[in-house]
Amino acid sequence: MLKKTKIIATIGPSSSSPSVIAELISKGVDIFRLNFSHGTHQILLQAIKDIRQQQTFLNKEIGILADLQGPKIRTGRTIDDKPVTIQKGAIVRLTSEKIISSADTISIDYPGLAKEVDTGQLIMINDGAIRLKVDRISNIGELFCTVISGGSYSSRKGVNLPDVDLATPSLTEKDRADLDFILEQDVQFIALSFVRKAADLEELKSIVSSRKKDIKIIAKIEKPEAASKADEILAACDGIMVARGDLGVETDPSVVPILQKKLIESADKAGKVVIVATQMLESMINNPLPTRAEASDVANAILDRTDAIMLSGETAVGAYPVRAVEMMVEIAQKAESSDYMPRDLVDLSRIGIHPPRAICDAAILASRDMGKIPICIFTISGDTALYISKKRSLSPLFVFCPDPQVVKILSLGWNLNPFYLPFSTEISSLISGAEQLLLEKGHVKKGNLIVLVSGTTPVKGETNSLRIKRVGDEYR
């Protein structure tokens, strides 16, 4: 059974070897995430090379998502990168000096922190595991804080300031350097961290456009003000990531499930892709099985109509990266085959719909009424395929495209199975080539019925043809 929800796995020490990358692809990973908060360009370049090598060997289209750090504040390094425990009631000093962090002094990589924080405000470390209250700010820019909630942290853990609107740019100097590197690589998506409003995306979009790169922009929703401006942000990007870790620190955790549902709904209405991320199978960093609550969380995100679910620490640093992907696939397939899965979301009451969309809607209904027969979509831009994907047809969706970059981009679309296929000027030759690919993959047999969505000629923007035919029959 083909999986419909796409799985994103984060590359890290646990998953960076070619053999593990190959296993992850074989088990169901569709996109790999490169976290630019960690790792050098040399390490990340090797990861890209290994992903592409294994993709070619396994003959599967794989997308790569480059996740920029953004204006994220982090702790410095601890001794040997080992965890440090801080007790409730202790006094801790925060400094921008580059020193080894300990239980009583924490190095922070944001020099302007003392100028933007006031006494009495909260500072959270390691996704809120440690909560500090600012007692005093020294004249040399150091903060002295009381530990409200104790816990552990290690090197390069996130620092959140829910009471502070930081005067940081949307793209940092590090991001610009990383972006120069990314735009020279075979990457399909760039995620921007800590987006607060649509304007935060403009510089990134401008840089990507100036380099004439077809790379899709994903806005990470990590702050409550971003969630409240979801519609304007969605209009300015290609998709969103519901980054629940920082979102749950910056706002009340009890609000996050409702925000997640609202953000998925907003993305669906806008026709944009949505990724649900962070702590999905968190316990599998150390355990071979998830908690029942985690399994329910993943399933409910799928039933809410997310396009993709993402693994972070589970595959980056976890002890069971391959098993985590297997579990994701298992949960996804069970949720997708349940009676609770939304399906065939075609609104028959609409009047004045754009002709290509009318063709797509008709294809979905025709496939459903004939027993969920496969829909074969021929596209150059990928727009037709993404539109059908958003309508949640449970029929197999096979997409054929002559642009290798678009093919990899479509790896993020729900239920889309993209194939690279050079387009000929003859539609009959094109369809014959697509059928041959599906026969070789075992997705169809000769004599099976399929629905074809294409243009009368393979021209961009000309989806105007719907046809039902049998595999192997001559196209007339």
**What pLDDT, on the 0 to 100 scale, is given for residue 205?**
97
* Residue 457 confidence (pLDDT): 65
The amino acid at residue 342 is P
Q: Is 243 helix (H, G, I), strand (E, B) or coil?
A: strand
CA dist list (Å): 296 to 278, 312, 327: 14, 18, 12
Q: How far apart are alpha carbons 53 and 43 in whole angstroms?
A: 15
Write the CATH number of the domain with boundaries 6-71+170-336: 3.20.20.60
3-class DSSP assignment, residue 450:
strand
Domain 355-470 sits in CATH at 3.40.1380.20
Task: Reduce the DSSP state of residue 385 to 3 states and report it.
Answer: helix
Buried b (16+ CB within 10 A) or exposed e, 295-333: bebbbbbbebbbbbbbbbbbbbebebbbbbbebbbebbb
Distance CA 455, CA 323 (A): 42
Q: How far apart are CA 226 and CA 233, in angstroms?
A: 8
What local confidence, expressed as pLDDT, does residue 379 receive?
A: 94
The residues, ordered by sequence, that sit 6+ positions from 123 with a Cβ below 8 Å of its Cβ are: 94, 117, 131, 132, 133, 134, 143, 145, 159, 160, 161
Contact yes or no for 209/86 (Cβ under 8 A): no
Pairing of strands 73-74, 158-160: antiparallel
Q: What is the DSSP-derived secondary structure letter of residue 284?
A: G
Per the listing, tokens 């009368």 go with 456
| Burial annotation 84-110 (CB, 10 A radius, 16+ → b, else e) | bebeeeeebbbbbeeeebebeebbbeb
**What per-residue confidence (pLDDT) applies to 187?**
98
C-alpha span between 151 and 85 (Å, rounded): 6
Residue with tokens 């289209």: 61
Backbone angles phi, psi at 369, to 5 degrees: -70, -20
Print pLDDT tens along the chain (476 aa). 789 999 999 999 999 999 999 999 999 999 999 999 988 999 999 999 999 999 999 999 999 999 999 888 899 999 999 999 999 999 999 999 999 999 999 999 988 889 999 999 999 999 889 999 999 999 999 999 999 999 999 999 999 988 888 878 889 999 999 999 999 999 999 999 999 999 999 999 999 999 999 999 999 999 888 999 999 999 999 999 999 988 888 888 899 999 999 999 999 999 999 999 999 999 999 999 999 999 999 999 999 999 999 999 999 999 999 999 999 999 999 999 999 998 777 876 665 578 888 899 999 999 999 999 999 999 999 999 999 999 999 999 999 999 999 999 999 999 999 999 999 878 889 999 999 999 999 999 999 999 999 876 665 657 788 999 999 998 87
User: Per the structure block, which two tokens stand in for 296?
Assistant: 């329910």
Q: Which residues are catalytic?
A: 33, 74, 220, 278
Beta strands 63-67 and 31-35 are: parallel
pLDDT of residue 352: 57
> 73-160 belongs to which CATH class?
mainly beta
Domain extents in the chain: 6-71+170-336, 73-160, 355-470
Amino acid 460: pLDDT: 62
pLDDT of residue 169: 85
